[in-house]
Amino acid sequence: MTPSRSLARGLPLCDYSLCCALGADRSSARARLFEAQSGLRAAPFALPFAAPCGVVDDPLPVLPARLQAFDTRQARLALAALEPLRPRIAECVQRWGGARVGLVLGSSNAGLDTTERVHAEHLRTGLVRDAYSLRTQHAFSAVLELIRTLTGIEGPAQFVSTACSSSGKAFASALRLCAAGLVDAVLVGGVDALCEMTVRGFRSLGVLAEQPCRPFGAARPGINIGEGAALFLFERDAESELALLGCGESADAHHMTAPDPAGQGAELAMREALAAAGLAPTEIDLINAHGTGTALGDASEAAAIARVFDGGVPVVSTKGYTGHALGAAGALEAALSLLTLELGLLPESLGASPIDRALPIAVVQRRREGVFKRVLSNSFAFGGSNVSVIFGRVA
């Protein structure tokens, strides 16, 4: 085993990509984000109730013929995010060898949307189509196997599935792999495709909105579900202006589905992230909140943020643009946060106006220019599985 190595200046970011309801690539998503254009639209399947969703409406790439056994919507979303990074991944594989490049992904649904359609067909016809494979079209390992085959990555490969914190926690796993000296480069991210079970499930919990969500808004109606993928390539010794500075995790186990009203687990995750990055709360320029748009969730997170940070730190939720992408949310929202650092622009927290004045935080209600060096992004999940991730400029 290679000895552990210091990551005192963070883990350098080589490149990143995203595919979401704002667009199937980084440039289109960037344009719509800073023009305050929502990607929410009608659900792509029949439901007996209204449910705006964050749907990727652009055509998705088709898998190569030799990999058709892996063909699912989740796989195509992952491929859309993978394609822009493949040249840089190839350079890392050539430089370090495939065994020294790792892969860590997060997902909540895996290939559930495909299995839903196959099951519905079985109920209708009594048959299961020959092309369906649980291993290659439903299992979490399927997308890992697909990406490894396409890229030559041969190092440690992990899938994290902790509901809505899944891909946020993938960053923490990647940091540990690098700090332990097990890899020299790592591809990190998350991917989730829309499925009926999730939409209906949140409806059964009484938190699904029939209108566009309004995180931190006074009249917020609840959550919208979305889909997407985002990938990040990190390399230990890369020359980069941006880096993953630290991650903080907690598990408060307050309730199976409801957040802790006091936000103690969320507070601990943020404090742990700051400690890992060696930063004071005053050194954070933006908080990308979990901000789902539920009454309890937003209030709990706001209370935790207020205890950790000066009340003037700008807070944004991007779920009004993309919906809640579940296991992909942490990665997707990290990518949107990086756009803010790169461009010196804070996006409007879409749907927040009129703001809930009872919340003790500074929610961004209009696009704003400025110099932003560090962003903290939150992802909080069922069962009190919490993670906070910090990105920042190092040059």
Catalytic residue among 14, 53, 213, 290: 290
62: its two tokens: 């088709």
Task: Give the length of the chain.
Answer: 395
Letter string b/e over residues 317-349, b meaning 16 or more CB atoms within 10 A of that residue's CB:
bbbbbbbbbbbbbbbbbbbbbbbbbeeebbbbb
Q: Please indicate whether residue 290 is annotated as part of the active site.
A: yes
Do you find a cis peptide bond into 281, omega within 30 degrees of 0? no
In contact, 331 and 168? CB cutoff 8 Å = yes
Cα separation, 254 vs 265, whole angstroms: 9
Confirm if 273 and 246 have CB atoms less than 8 A apart: yes
Q: What is the dihedral of CA 359, 170, 213, 315, to 10 degrees?
A: 30
Nearest Cα to Cα of residue 229 among 328, 319, 162? 328
Active site residue 14: no
DSSP letter for 63, please.
P
Catalytic position from the list 19, 164, 178, 247: 164
Q: Annotated catalytic, 20? A: no
The residues carrying an active-site annotation are 164, 290, 324
